[in-house]
Chains A and B, each alone.
Chain A
Amino acid sequence: MAELLDMGKYAAFIWPSYGVSLMVIGGFIVWSLRRRHKARALLRQIEAVEKPAVGS
């Protein structure tokens, strides 16, 4: 296990490069899906208010 973590003395370079890559990828996924969810919720809310107004 220690050998795996050590990565042949390159641990200080390898783990941060994987860590930051996964953080950026995860961040993009969370940001995109949250933005989509918020926009969709707002649109539904507006359309729900709109429909009776259009009907009347």
Chain B
Amino acid sequence: MFSFFANPERFQSLAKWLGPPLAVLAIVGIVGGLGAGLFLAPEDYQQGDAARMLYVHVPAAWLASFSYGFLAIASFISFVWRHNLADSAAEAAAPLGLGFTFLALFTGALWGKPMWGAYWVWDARLTSMLVLLFLFLGYMTIRSVMPDKVRAARLGAIVAMVGAINLPIIKFSVDWWSTLHQPSSLLRAGGPAIENTMLWPLLAAILGYTALFGWLVLVQMQTELDVRKINRIQRLHIGTRLSRPEAPQKDISNG
């Protein structure tokens, strides 16, 4: 399967086919989910209107973990099979993951202040999310700072794979430690613990955020393929230019 998608032409045609529906799903899901969460969903019986932050916080937190999982899997494929497209998928996922991890922390802080009385506490869930932010930052720094792009990709992949150990820590932090953060209300044994009128806008927003991630990763990968093609052509030109001074030498030796 990996070798099937290793072909850039095949990937480009798949991306052209898959991109538009993902974009539509993203916009409909986000506008519908956030709009319904803000204006239609009922207020929570304990938290009142503050619970409306659920619809921006939970999808961002989900996507932060999801994008890191995607980054780690793409890095593994790139590291083991030296799959160029998997490498560009990993590179594309990192800034998106960083952005959504920031959003999860930011919206969480704004939710925490009225509920806990503090924007930040060194709670296991919050701290493991902060570690996730630094993992994304570390990965992106390695990719952008190292001059040797092949070595940067290999080292970045190792960091991404090792950092994946943080994902179960994030997920189970609320069960393993005594935390201020509430336990999981969606992915838990016995089904979601949320009323349907609040659940549907949340699921729509989660679906919209995930589709947005898929769409933007495809767009970034298409861009990366174009950039690599441009670099290849430019290197070819530099090579041609460099080889020109050798031509007269050849003529002299022949003469």
User: Does the CB pair A10–B50 fall under 8 Å?
Assistant: yes
Q: Which of A7, A9, A33 has the most CB of B within 10 A?
A: A7
B32-76 contacts to A, CB under 8 A, are 34, 38-39, 43, 48-50, 52-53, 56-57, 60
User: Does the CB pair A14–B50 fall under 8 Å?
Assistant: yes
Query: In the complex, what distance in Å separates the CA atom of A18 from the CA atom of B227?
Result: 34
> Taking A18-B38, A35-B223, A42-B230 as contacts, is the C-beta distance between A28 and B110 under 8 angstroms?
no
**Nearest-CB residue, chain B, relative to A47:** B233
> Using a CB–CB distance below 8 Å, which chain B residues touch chain A?
30, 34, 38-39, 43, 48-50, 52-53, 56-57, 60, 95-96, 99-100, 102-103, 106-107, 110-111, 113-114, 212, 216, 219-220, 222-223, 226-227, 229-230, 233-234
Give the total number of A-B pairs whose CB atoms are below 8 A apart. 87
User: Does the CB pair B106–A18 fall under 8 Å?
Assistant: no
User: Does the CB pair A17–B34 fall under 8 Å?
Assistant: no
User: Does the CB pair A43–B113 fall under 8 Å?
Assistant: no
CB-based closest 6 A-B pairs = A8-B49, A39-B226, A17-B107, A21-B56, A13-B110, A7-B49
Q: In the complex, how many angstroms separate the beta carbon of B233 from the nearest chain A beta carbon?
A: 5
Write 27 A-B pairs (CB below 8 A) sorted by A numbering. Answer: A7-B49, A8-B49, A13-B113, A13-B114, A14-B38, A16-B110, A17-B56, A18-B34, A18-B38, A18-B56, A21-B56, A24-B99, A25-B212, A28-B96, A28-B212, A29-B212, A29-B216, A32-B220, A33-B219, A36-B223, A39-B223, A39-B227, A40-B223, A42-B230, A43-B226, A43-B229, A46-B230
A1-56 contacts to B, CB under 8 A, are 4, 7-10, 13-14, 16-18, 20-22, 24-25, 27-29, 32-33, 35-36, 39-40, 42-43, 46-47, 50
